[in-house]
Structure 1
Amino acid sequence: MWQSIVLAMLGKLIVRGKLTAILPDGTTHIFGTGTGGPDVTLRLTDATCLRRLVRDPELALGEAYMDGALILEAGDLRDMLTLFAINGGRGRMPPVIAAGFRARFLARRWMQANDPRKSRTNVAHHYDLGDDFYALFLDEDRQYSCAYFADPAMTLEAAQAAKKAHIATKLRIEPGMHVLDIGCGWGGMALTLARDFSARVTGVTLSENQHATATARVREAGLTDRIDIRLQDYRDLAGPFDRIVSVGMLEHVGAPQYPTYFSRVADLLAPDGVALIHTIGRCAPPTTTSGWLAKYIFPGGYTPSLSELLIPLERTDLWQDDIEVWRGHYAETLRRWQDRFEANVDTVRAMYDDRFIRMWRYYLVAAEVSFDAHRHVVYQLQLSKTRDVVPNTRDYLYASNAQTMRRAAE
């Protein structure tokens, strides 16, 4: 029964490209036209995978790859995930499988109910793996978010510096301003704003590992008089702040918490303040997080549609000064991370096992494909309480573009 459902699913899904599936009973099945997409041959060695693919195909596919029960005999992981993506993915599932996705969507208020206790646990799951691991594939400043490739030939380090410079320009920072960094990570943005723009920065994180590292970096840089790194939930802060920046943190908030998030940004922002929210988003209707991603990588995480952000944002007194959409930049960032991860895979193997390596390889490639073949983008929301606190055009951003690029290359 399970095999027949899986075959029906693949027959409905694969139209572009070609998939040759060798199932556990040794039978071979071919799907697709062979044109317009990758040519992939996969072998499933465990019959229990068929049942799990029917119940949750996204979770089961990732687990089969992690466990070594899915073997790619032609094409690579990127080809396979791209093949599924360009053929519509969830949108072409049989009714029995589509019903499971609908049920998970209805359960979002519980699955993403990220109260302070749960948020801390979720953050620790991913970010407390250790600095030595992340140093293997991130840039020297440990920027774990989308870089800004103003020039495709830029190094990862230069593109991450360009991202920070671009954000700082949007914030319109002046010396002495007090900046709140929500989800400050390893402290890179805080260090940049304090060192290069003479700001005072309060950074908050829920990761004990990131807090310890960011605090040490601030001390080593001699900036303890300008930067305060706190192990604290953004919901417990008191303002006001002249500027608020949040890079790659909104993805961990969860849809049920968006009203709280934006109301806190509004409450914490000074009357003449500016906020810049940088987040992954989707140019598509609301959905749910992949079961595999929620279980193994980002529990409680969610990539929002723009419509889901605008409704709670519209209920605050914040102006939407600018909404910029980045396309392509994160896919390129992820390719750079993958190259470094693979170059250091033996070091990773000394830290963890082969299953962990396959898990992270699957995550990095799947994320890249989501930006290349799905409808994922990066949104930058520039917000304020006063209509004319930022210029009415983007000219101010690009008039200083040469200076920004010089600073990024230093």
Structure 2
Amino acid sequence: MNILLKRILDRLVRTGNLKVTGPKGLSVTFGDGSGDLVHMHIKTTHAERAITFDPMLAVPEAYMDGELDILEGGVLGVMRIAFQNMDSGGIDATWSKAIEGLRHAFRRLQQINTAARARRNVQRHYDLSGDLYRLFLDKDMQYSCAYFEQPDMTLDEAQAAKKRHIAAKLRLKAGQTVLDIGSGWGGLGLYLAKSFDVDVQGVTLSTEQHGVATDRAHAQGLENRAHFEVRDYRELNERFDRVVSVGMFEHVGVNHYRTFFDKSATLLKPDGVMLLHTIGRSGAPWATSAFIRKYIFPGGYVPSLSEVMPAIEKSGLIVTDIEVLRLHYAETLRHWSQRFAANRDKAKAIYDERFCRMWEFYLAASEAAFRWQDLVVFQIQIAKKNDTLPMSRDYMAKCEKALQLRDMGHRPKAPAAKPARRRKVADME
């Protein structure tokens, strides 16, 4: 191990139990010995030199390229030590802080997400083989944070709970029109159309997702209720009773927040309601991870609430409710990582070893950021008028419970004075 990297690690890793073996086979241990051992093997001098000067990008790149192996503790263990040492002078040391500070300063240049560029960015990630995503997602292919009402929920149960949680905040009524911005593989839109008898229009920039969503609509007999298009939300001119967007806002870019909410305001009817579900930061604004931006989500950015609220306010929209989901995404990513590992050979057959190592790092590092850094999920409910929604949140819990019973196969009893009929969930709000 070169002297500079040894000095840096010795000064930065105050807690934990990190063992690093260098290219020449010599091993050095850092930290106070607490916790499980994490053992990294830096196999080449090229990787060692790169890690010395830009660890947050060079460590994942070296791992992807096979120039670094994690012999014990896994990627999650490496990231745990990195994040838990931040407050003790770890990654916040001058040399690393300066690099990340420059990335933050230039973040707007990296997020000029015009319609054409946005489509290219989406294709880089979401137009990967659908067979890949089926290896680790739930059966409904929900590629966003699940909602763990109970800690022992399965992934499928938690994703179903997420759809109920979102639906309850939209306060849907039969016959309404719903726009789903960033509709993915169609799971949420199809759920809303089926549960509430509403008309859903989903828009996505991914041709792969559009094809799957359209096929699913036909297979479920919902093609007259749920329609999906490859289209940028900025091109829309229709008006909707409800707008929902899940896991798409992270791709908008800080330069375009005002455009996003101004457009949302024009898309909503006067008594319209919007629900925005997005990854966010509980802390101050900061740069997107260099690794994530370069290899996983080009053009992506995770905002602080302080960056989102001004754009909503200037659009004339009203924030009616904000919920912060903590650790739910960490649990979601834990499930995804386990499923990906169980199907790793199948993923390698679709792509290659380097791709598998890249995705292993992506999933584990993301979980670590939600567990030990400042990443959370915001659910922001928005309306055009102050009196559109009830004054208390009781209607959300009531609708959620009704949906849960319906999903479990229970039918609510009809009022005694009326002929028996199967009531819509909306009737129970």
2:151 is matched with 152
SS, match of residue 108 in structure 1: coil
Bigger Cα displacement from structure 2, 64-73 vs 22-31: 22-31
1:316 is matched with 315
1:28 is matched with 27
SS, match of residue 222 in structure 1: coil
SS, match of residue 238 in structure 1: coil
Alpha carbons 1:158, 1:409 under 8 Å: kept: no
1:125 aligned partner, one-letter code: R
CA displacement at 1:6 relative to structure 2: 2.3
- Distance between the aligned counterparts of 2:46 and 2:128, measured in 1? 31
Matching of residue 41 in structure 1 with residue 1 in structure 2? no
1:195 is matched with 194
SS, match of residue 391 in structure 1: coil
1:288 is matched with 287
Q: Which has the larger radius of gyration?
A: 2
Alpha carbons 2:127, 2:208 under 8 Å: kept: yes
2:77 is matched with 79
* Poorly superposed stretches of 4+, deviation over 4 Å: none
- Distance between the aligned counterparts of 2:154 and 2:31, measured in 1? 38
String of CA shifts for 1:249-275, please: whole Å, max 9, x gaps.
001111111111111111211110000
- Distance between the aligned counterparts of 2:2 and 2:253, measured in 1? 35
1:257 is matched with 256
1:197 aligned partner, one-letter code: F
CA displacement at 1:232 relative to structure 2: 0.5
Q: TM-score, structure 2 length as denominator? A: 0.91
State the Cα RMSD in Å.
1.7
Matching of residue 220 in structure 1 with residue 219 in structure 2? yes
1:196 aligned partner, one-letter code: S
Residues matched between the structures, number: 408
Listed as ranges, the gaps of 5+ residues in structure 2 are 410-429
- Distance between the aligned counterparts of 2:378 and 2:249, measured in 1? 11
- CA distance 1:409–1:160, shift in 2 (3 Å): farther
CA displacement at 1:401 relative to structure 2: 4.1
- Distance between the aligned counterparts of 1:141 and 1:12, measured in 2? 47
Alpha carbons 1:165, 1:408 under 8 Å: kept: no
SS, match of residue 140 in structure 1: coil
1:227 aligned partner, one-letter code: A
- Distance between the aligned counterparts of 1:93 and 1:351, measured in 2? 38
CA displacement at 1:62 relative to structure 2: 0.4
2:57 aligned partner, one-letter code: L
- Distance between the aligned counterparts of 1:44 and 1:409, measured in 2? 51
Listed as ranges, the gaps of 5+ residues in structure 1 are none
String of CA shifts for 1:315-369, please: whole Å, max 9, x gaps.
1111110000111211111111122111211211211211111111111111111
SS, match of residue 288 in structure 2: coil
Matches within 5 A, 1:303-342: 303-342=302-341
2:7 aligned partner, one-letter code: A
1:325 aligned partner, one-letter code: V
Matches within 5 A, 1:4-403: 4-35=3-34, 37-88=35-86, 92-403=91-402
- CA distance 1:392–1:359, shift in 2 (3 Å): same
- Distance between the aligned counterparts of 2:358 and 2:406, measured in 1? 36
1:292 aligned partner, one-letter code: F
- Distance between the aligned counterparts of 2:152 and 2:96, measured in 1? 43
